[in-house]
Structure 1
């Protein structure tokens, strides 16, 4: 059955956030405090030459939208140059803890939501333009975004979706024809860069920080109205809002957040800036800034240069930081419940859900069914220790292990050779001690594999479906950026297609599944980044 599509500028937008919550309508773009409101009505600032650079066909089709021409009304709307009659654009007000410290009012400083569209399945999705110009929440910034960061967000949003990670999506990447001045590493070396706007898509972009802002400002009515809105539109199965429903809602937010973090840890994803204003109330990965994937397996690795001194948001810290952020959300919504102390039970549920989900995911990555929980937990813990000691590439290690599983089960004669092949393929130059530790773990794993009753080929196929071959390594994204800045979109388009099926072999693209090259270890954008965008 074919599904009819329409051009974006013809699509009918709904505006539940604007119509059901409290907003200011002054349209004043000057940076300022906006007490008493959930949002500010504001229109995007037009750009000089909007032109389409990339489009997500799958997401566009799901939203019932036709792929636009390179230039035209639809792209004008995606850049912020055209606001249709059914759009009621706004910027949301929120606050947040940044690197553990309360930062006060933050808000959508360069993101402007156009409204909501109804997808082909009847669900509603908010369309938000990032880089669309100043808002009252821009503080000292210009409300713009550069191609570098916009391309990274576009690619990673879709790559995470195809990996099966809970995430916001990205519909389009539009070049603006304007230059934006940015200091990439905050080292006094500001330069002009090409500007861009990314259209990102989610059921809602409401964050923990939206609730924190209302609570800190003492706006209890606004706090309750926001919670009621979220429950009505995004957690309707919980029933009519009440103190008891707020409790169940918080527990579900904790559960979803735990599942999201478990997914991050299972694929080696590092968000890089887990401030409370970057935490989705739906448990979705949101705000792709200085992210990265583990290459050498290091628990204290962070891609964010701003975080180098404390490593608060390093890979191994993510589970604990998410719990800390949920605690801040609990403090914010405490005025809505009869017994705030009872919210702690949901925080315990987060910890329990995270542990159970991570364990189940690791068993699947290893091709194992639960036989002895205590022994299997020890095996998994031993793997984390061995990978950390040997600093193997996490993605390559699990992929090679998947392919090797039948041979490990079939024969003991060539085990050492198989072990060595796996280690060498994934190693960035491990120490003899690290290599020995990994060999010892592989022997334990082989012994455990022999206890499985499933066909070895079935185990291999199951593992391949859980261990991606392709992830968006920073150096791959940087290559796409550098090409796009010269007008060559082929690298971006190729990456986009490959990352749609990250678990497939796609042998013609093998070079995109190799270890990070030596030249990329210290090159700007290829290993670490800042929050500059």
Structure 2
């Protein structure tokens, strides 16, 4: 049996390919990709499949239960009349130019059209490519569970993201040093089939600009506009400027969503920035537990905290500067690019304020809002306060009862003993101001509650939750994966039967590897 997919490959037909067909590590010149075949797994088995993504690709539940499906999503077999490939790109990593990077452990299988939507299907962890450098191109169950669950969780939160189709075991053992401290061990190998309209990144353009290969750069930009930004019109200098402006806007919107739900990407290198404004490459990510603008989940970034929660908007801008530099050879003018970057700063302030107003249920703009919100952020950092629980419970605040405000959000504090009389007094004063501010709104308390609960999720994929799923999956029990997958489909719903997941990080997870400490292999 073969899967009935509407294959419509474009990337590997319209763009220049690596002329070398052998699969060995090398610098790939004047090519957007290299043809490569996935490594055949020894004993593949399926763990979980996303019903929504099955449907998006034109497949059924029955299809997912076939050997043909298993073979495709684990790399055991290649789809008929397709030529898998790994993409070539470069990037700035932690602010430093890293040169050629590329798909070191990702292999694109094919592009699929269904219901007038175009999808690229990619395997992560399916073997080495010319871009694997010193690595093996494989992935382990631990990181694969995190990527699979997070991709779909982000989508249902309303955050622009790549998606996941399936999670599978390869049947092979993979050697990994989790914390890069010399304690390597074998782990279960796994493969995630992930899906997006495109996996193009900022680094896809940077590499050709850096090599002064302006011909290939122009070819790739023209391809991108034709296939992913067709509304911008025929390629020209004006179109390239409009293209950059839209990428900047999409990047801004994505990061505002990250800030709204308390998501920290962890590795905002330019090779991890989607040109479509999608959240891509889920490594050492995390959701804020205690509200902390300086928090980063990435151990590699622990010293400088470049990719900390509060700095994500600035890093988005920094990365856009690098993309602007890459596109400059096609535009040959700095003023329009600089204007777009300046507009990003202005727009981010506007959109961020609008987003924070929505989290507090404020619809009418008021000059006092900036100070009200700044004072709230300062209060949230006086003592460890859970971001998700705080904003969710804040919706229950009664504007006519400001004196009861502290009791409404009390469960968000990790240690009540840390709350001095002075801190409690500051909270009470803030609630008095908040209640007065709400008098300017036309919403009833119930209407405000519904509006706030539509933007403040009740459930997010906390690291300890993912770790519980990983621990059980390592033992062959996939029940927690299934439970979390379904829970996170409705993150804004109450789901009282699953209330146990609406809880602060347990103390055992505070300093546990995989919960508080994550590396780039996580």
TM-score by length of 1: 0.95
The DSSP-based 3-state class of the residue aligned with 2:175 is: strand
Distance 1:86 1:436, change over 3 A: farther
1:324 to 1:330, Cα distance in 2 relative to 1, 3 A: same
**Which 5+ residue runs of structure 2 have no aligned equivalent?**
none
Q: Does 1:441 align with 2:436?
A: no
Q: In structure 2, do the counterparts of structure 1 residues 109 and 444 end up closer, same or farther at CA, with 3 Å as the change threshold?
A: same
Write the deviation string for residues 249-306 of structure 1: whole angstroms up to 9, x where unpaired.
1011101100111000011100000000000001111000000000111111110011
CA distances 1:385-436 after superposition (whole Å, capped 9, x unpaired)? 21122331110001100122xxx22x33xx3344134134444454424444
CA distance in 1 between partners of 2:406 and 2:298 (Å): 34
CA-CA distance at 1:451 after TM superposition: 1.9
Superposed CA deviations along residues 103-135 of structure 1, whole A, max 9, x for unmatched, are: 110000010001211122x01010110001000
Comparing 99-108 with 431-440, greater Cα deviation is found at: 431-440
Within a 5 Å distance, the mapping from 1:27-38 to structure 2 comes to 27-38=21-32
- The one of 95, 101, 107 aligned to 1:106: 101
Q: Are residues 1:416 and 2:403 paired?
A: yes
Q: Post-superposition shift, 1:180?
A: 0.4
Listed one character per residue, the Cα deviations across residues 349-393 of structure 1 (whole Å, up to 9, x for unaligned) are 222222222222211111111232x21122122211211223311
Q: 2:209 aligns with which of 212, 215, 218?
A: 215
Say which is worse superposed, 349-358 or 293-302, in terms of deviation: 349-358
Residue in structure 1 matched with residue 449 of structure 2 by the alignment: 460
Determine the structure 2 residue equivalent to 1:11. 5
2:459 paired residue among 457, 470, 475: 470
Counterpart of 1:497?
Answer: 486
In structure 2, the residue matched to 1:394 is 387
Shift of 1:70: 5.3
SS at match of 2:139: coil
SS where residue 327 of structure 2 aligns? helix
Q: C-alpha deviations, 1:286-333, integer Å up to 9, x for none?
A: 000000000111111110011111100110111111100000000011
TM-aligned CA deviation for residue 69 of structure 1: 4.8
Moved more, 518-527 or 417-426: 417-426
Identify which range, 53-62 or 267-276, moves more after superposition. 53-62
User: Is 1:335 paired with 2:329?
Assistant: yes
CA contact (8 A) 2:364 2:441 kept: no
Q: How far 1:63 moved relative to its partner?
A: 1.7
Do 1:390 and 1:438's aligned partners in 2 also have CA atoms closer than 8 Å? Answer: no
- Structure 1 counterpart SS, 2:382: helix
In structure 1, C-alpha distance between the alignment counterparts of 2:423 and 2:189, rounded to whole Å = 45
Match status 1:350 vs 2:344: yes
Mean Cα displacement is larger for which, 73-82 or 376-385?
376-385
Decide which of 496, 503, 511 is 1:514's aligned counterpart. Answer: 503
Closer, same or farther: CA 301–8 of 1 in aligned 2, 3 Å: farther
Cα pair 1:52 1:69 within 8 Å, conserved: no
Could you say which residue in structure 2 is the equivalent of 1:299? Answer: 293
Counterpart of 1:385 in structure 2 is 378
Q: Quote the Cα distance in structure 2 between the aligned partners of 1:59 and 1:434.
A: 47
Q: Specify the alignment match of 1:3 in structure 2.
A: none
Q: 1:257 touches 1:350 (CA, 8 Å); kept in 2?
A: no
Q: Which residue of 2 aligns with 1:117?
A: 112
- Name the CA distance, whole Å, in 2 between partners of 1:87 and 1:436: 66
Maintained 8 Å contact 1:394/1:426: no
User: Where in structure 2 are the equivalents of 1:21-420 lying within 5 Å?
Assistant: 21-67=15-61, 68-69=63-64, 72-120=67-115, 122-372=116-366, 374-404=367-397, 408-409=398-399, 411-412=400-401, 415-420=402-407
Superposition deviation, residue 232 in structure 1: 0.5
Deviations 1:13-56 (A, max 9, x none): 22100011001253311111111111101111110111111111
In the superposition, relative to structure 1, how do residues 139 and 470 fare at CA in structure 2: closer, same or farther (>3 Å)? same
Provide, for residues 134-153 of structure 1, a one-character-per-residue CA deviation record: whole Å limited to 9, x for no partner.
00000000000001001100
C-alpha separation between the residues in 2 aligned to 1:27 and 1:43? 10
Q: 1:9 to 1:26 in 2, by over 3 A?
A: farther
Q: Cα RMSD between the aligned structures?
A: 1.4
TM-score (norm 2): 0.97
Q: Following the alignment from structure 2 to structure 1, what is the Cα–Cα distance between the partners of residues 502 and 517? A: 19
User: Matched residues in 1 for 2:200 and 2:6: separation?
Assistant: 22
Aligned 8 A contact 1:300 1:311 in 2? yes
Tell me the distance in 2 between the aligned counterparts of 1:505 and 1:156: 20
Tell whether the 8 Å contact from 1:109 to 1:137 is kept in structure 2 after alignment.
yes
Tell me, in whole angstroms, the C-alpha distance in 1 between the residues paired with 2:464 and 2:371. 34
Moved more, 499-508 or 384-393: 384-393
Aligned residues: 519
